[in-house]
Amino acid sequence: MVAGKGKKYCGEHATMEEDGGGSRRIICPLDPKHTVTEDRLQKHLKKCNSREKPKPVRCSIDPSIDRSRSLSERSRTELESLLDKLKTDSVLSHPALHDELNNPKNGDSAHKHLKHFYCAGFSA
């Protein structure tokens, strides 16, 4: 990083600046290898690459199903077996899913994906 005009240090090392010149930079609590301005910490924590990532969704009908392969890569026998399971199993749900479906902060796109998991019998 390059130091700004009239600055002795770059943004990453601005904590060493004596006059500060603005919001104080602090070490990121998720990763001490970088800093963030104190007033933007909450926003940063939501998008920091070091935050805990959501776990992949598993098929609740059959957790052994390999979700990394698309339907077009599966044999007819595998597809028929999956369809049989879908026809016999009831739709699974979870209170957290209902909460998210009723959350007004979720937009149309989020609702579309949540309904897909609900209707397909997947649980988070």
pLDDT of the residue at 123: 42
Residues 60 and 90: their CA atoms lie apart, in Å, by 11
Asked if the structure places residue 64 within a domain, the reply is: no
Residue 54's nearest CA partner among 117, 120, 121 is 117
Q: Give the structural domain span for 46.
A: 1-53
Asked if the structure places residue 91 within a domain, the reply is: yes
pLDDT of the residue at 45: 92
Asked if the structure places residue 18 within a domain, the reply is: yes
Number of domains in the chain: 2
To 5 degrees, how large is the angle CA 81–CA 57–CA 66? 40
Each residue's pLDDT tens digit, 5-14: 888 778 767 6
- Residues of the chain whose pLDDT is less than 70? 12, 14-22, 55-67, 89-94, 116-124
pTM beyond 0.95: no
